[in-house]
Structure 1
Amino acid sequence: MIYRSLGQQGPEVSAVCLGTMTFGQQTDQADAHSQLDMAFERGINFIDTAEMYAVPPRAETYGATETIVGTWLRRQARERIVLASKVAGPARSLGWIRNGPLALDRANIRAAVEGSLRRLQTDYIDLYQLHWPERNQPMFGQWQYDPDKERVCTPIRAQLEALAELVAEGKVRHVGLSNEHPWGVMEFVRCAREFDLPRVVSIQNAYNLLNRVFEYGLAEVCHREQVSLLAYSPLAFGHLSGKYLANPVAAGRLTEFEGFGQRYSKENVQPAVAAYVALAQSLGLTPVQLALAFVYRRGCVASTIIGASTRAQLAQNLDAWVVTLSADALEAIDRIHLRYSNPAP
């Protein structure tokens, strides 16, 4: 395992991060602790969670993931773990979270942090992220910005000021973004610079063979402004394993939870997956190895967030770390990408 620093002065994290959103839904506490132990033994020091988890979000499982992580964390050397969590924003129908937050304002951010600290049984969170923007923007499978949907929202400066208080109090050490777009990143960077507020060190966005939208605008912004990409969903909710090609009702989140992962229901997803599976087979790799090796070694990616519902799946994902793709393989991937450009944005 290798380690990289996030942003300009962020924490040093493993190039693979353990995502935990199955904990408390598909994965019970015993299996979750086993996954955490395995990841830590394999050199992973970076754990990502969120107040909203488990996923899919439900009132019955709200906070369950952080609670499970907390019961594991309390018996670890805390300084050896880089712990990331997120505050859920408004603009989604999640009324059970803080009675339906109307804003990413000071009161909501503070309440979210304090709730996460209690569940995680820790005094601080190393990386605290805004799970998605409060303002109007396309996200989670939407692909067009619609100015007619503009609404009043908390200014980005005010969001950073709320986070700055938590940093000053030692409850949060670094701040980051998630599901953001280029304008948002630049505005957070501008406000931090102009008003001496905490500078975001990372952005957590979807990035995989079916969704390389990050490369179009965000890659340049994040490179020039030193904001590190934490790539989530590298297997595209299991699509890139190829299991749904052979069996459309194979076990997984997409079949277990109705209406889940809608960005992967678009028409070119299955042809693109078939092309990547065929390429993997021609290279003597599994589809999982091809998909993960692509993201693991991508120059724009600081850390790849992997998640699994079982210990066996996690082992398979970790084993893919040793796979390196040749220049010819990368060229073949780009040819498929140009044929099926971002079918699941």
Structure 2
Amino acid sequence: MRTKPRPLAGAALSLSALLALASCADDVATETAAAEAETVTFTWDRNTAAEEEEPQLEETTVEVPVDPEKIVVFDMASLDTIGALGGEVAGAPLDFVPEYLQDSLADDAFDAGTLYEADLVEIEAQQPDLIVIGGRSSALYDDLSEIAPTVDLGMRGSFTDTLERNTTFLGEVLGDEDEAAAAVAEIEAGIAEAQQVTAAAGTGLGLMVSGGRLSAMAPAGEDASGRGARGGLIYDTFGVEPVVEDIEAATHGEPVSFEFLLETDPDHLWVVDRDAATSAEGAQAAAQVLDNEIVQQTTAFQEDQVHYLDPTAWYVVFGGIETAQIMIDDVLQIAD
């Protein structure tokens, strides 16, 4: 009686089972690796102190999904960059989105609240995959992070460092690293060109006009984030030589008179119309405020070197790919 084939069949069956198990293990490993590859890690130092307290920084790390289906954005600079990289935003504080960034919104974008207060009920109902905050909206982190992965892309360090970091990160999130790298390179080249122009332009003074009053803008110094960084952009990023060595000390703060402009007599005035940026009703335009006999005696006025900067770009957004190009073009106007 021939009995040998049976053990061979059993061995073949066992081998098939082993191969199947090995294949399943490979599939699981591949799926696990793919899952790991489909997130991007973002780490920053988050201020956990109350507004009136001394800053208390806590390292915060968030895993962000790649190619998220729904993104909610409270930071206008990030809205700008997401749109510039071909993405779109599902929700934002719609009343605060500048006209030139409307194309970054989805056609059915929902209103997520304001820059300071989120509509938590609506956001949770929309089930976003990623929420981006920064600057004015940074205080919203605790509430929003309970709904979806939330990252703070506010300004930290220099303008260019922040722009590179955030654009690189968003490029990874959107799966378009090459376009992000190209955008950063183009902006850096534009800033370098602007710096070459300002280096030969003489002195300058950044000026904020609001409610008929003037405020001198100063280099950021140690205040390299938020309000200080925004006011110092014309000097710190674009290389304008301040008309006085220490503007803040010379002005005893920020408010200045028309006489201060004549006394310091900068070669160039770089003007931001804050009321235009915030759409203040009934406000007098900055050009009208500066059209007086005192200002007309300054070198900047007589040499036609009073430059009006895009108020939305410089005051509201001051970051992001498209906005950075607007700012570069504003500075390069003195080369015309």
Please give the range of the TM-score, normalised by the shorter of the 2 chains. under 0.3
With normalisation by structure 2, the TM-score equals 0.27
Q: Radius of gyration: which is bigger?
A: 2
- Between structures 1 and 2, the one with greater strand share: 2
Normalized per residue, which structure has more helix? 2
**TM-score (norm: length of structure 1):** 0.26
